[in-house]
Chain A
């Protein structure tokens, strides 16, 4: 399977940084905040490759930097350093000067202007956040939320947008009778399903999932996870799955990266991470799992 996304040494630092930062922060130091200068290294020197049709898990406790990583990849936040490349794919051919002539990989998307970043992102990625209010406008109808995304992708026909929105909402099991209601009227599980519909509206090759089932009741969580598994197979999606829950990672992901204090401490096949964890932190994580 070919790679779709390559991330090289992506880093997000809040604060000015100082010469002692590298020693004072990270998994070995047990903190992401530098005592000397107060800078926080939310995400430090993370590299990864996401392949076509694979689900890569990112697991770690709160503050490990896993959500920051997703935000950086979705340009919700700007990286301090590092670079990101997207593979050549038909959906991205319309983005001006994304690829150098004859190259299979794009130029660094992190250093592009906002306009082209957004264009490249909307043509290749969808995102689902833990908190529905980050991904949805809670006062706008469910159908309108999906249409908004289509509008920014250049759709103009109201009838076509409505048809596409109902198709996506149907796929994510939102009754069409409720399409015109705002998500604030919906349960948590339904809100997540509207977010998924919205994320899929641009036919993304890559889906970013940030703690999408955290905080949902178990039965609701199961339904959302089953839906994600089905969609992944049917739409041949690549997914980056961020979760603190090893059960979710085990269900969805073939490969897993473990983060702590902003750094990747271990990565491997998911069954190997669970059955033969190498790093002390991963061993603690696996041993702490219920059941």
Chain B
């Protein structure tokens, strides 16, 4: 039962990742592109967590922690750059 649910969750998050790529390629505004990149990071973390369940190992959690941190920093610096023209004032 867990296997079927795991496959379903993999399919959902993978489809979400594809939709995000579509949104990044043709985004109406710059803000939407940043938002799509942020969502992509979150979906990647979810996929890594699911992969950790599939393999039964905790190795992938360090990777997803680092991805979460870089995703947050990159989103904030992107928006700061658009807002002020400068990241660290």
Partners in one complex: no
Interface positions of B (Cβ within 8 A of A): none
Residues of A bordering B, CB below 8 Å:
none
